[in-house]
Amino acid sequence: MQRKRSGDSPLNSRQEELAKQERALRQQMEQLENLIAQAPKIAEERLERERQERMARASAHRSPLDSADVLEDARYESGVPIERPPRPRRAQRRAARLRLLTMVVAVIFAGAIVLYLVIQLMNHL
């Protein structure tokens, strides 16, 4: 009688198959762990690239003859400073209105005096 090799048994072949699957799963797990470890860096690079693209688009001067279908959305121009003066406060606006009203009244009053003097001059001629 010949003795069977111990490596040919169904139990051994099943163990080898399971060992292969385990190695494949470990390799896949290592790849996924590497991907997870690199994910924040990749996301940061993507965000930086998008920010640079937005900055380039915002700083590009367009001709009035460029297509009108390209609209720039101010919400996404986070890195571009807005160059407009601050809006005046309510008290400042009220004071400006009062000054304007005072100036209008003064001009009307001066005009009335001039008109009165012209009429007086015409009467004495």
pLDDT digits (tens, 9 = 90+) for 8-33: 788 888 999 999 999 999 999 999 99
Tell me if the pTM is above 0.75: no
Residue-level length of the chain:
125
Residue 95 pLDDT exceeds 80: yes
Quick check: is 25 in a domain? yes
For 57, residues 6+ apart whose C-beta sits below 8 A from its C-beta are 72
Quick check: is 1 in a domain? no
What is the C-alpha R_g of the chain? 42
Quick check: is 18 in a domain? yes
The pLDDT-based confidence of 60 (bands split at 50, 70, 90) is confident
Q: Which residue has the tokens 């009062």?
A: 98
Residue 4 pLDDT exceeds 70: no
Residue 68 pLDDT exceeds 70: no
Quick check: is 68 in a domain? no
Mean pLDDT throughout 63-88? 64
The pLDDT-based confidence of 63 (bands split at 50, 70, 90) is low
Contact at 8 Å (CB) between 58 and 76?
no
pLDDT score for 74: 61
Cα 100 off chain centre by:
40
Quick check: is 97 in a domain? yes
Domain containing residue 32:
7-60+74-81
pLDDT score for 122: 94
Q: Which residue has the tokens 């590497």?
A: 34
Quick check: is 20 in a domain? yes
Q: What is the number of domains present in the chain?
A: 2
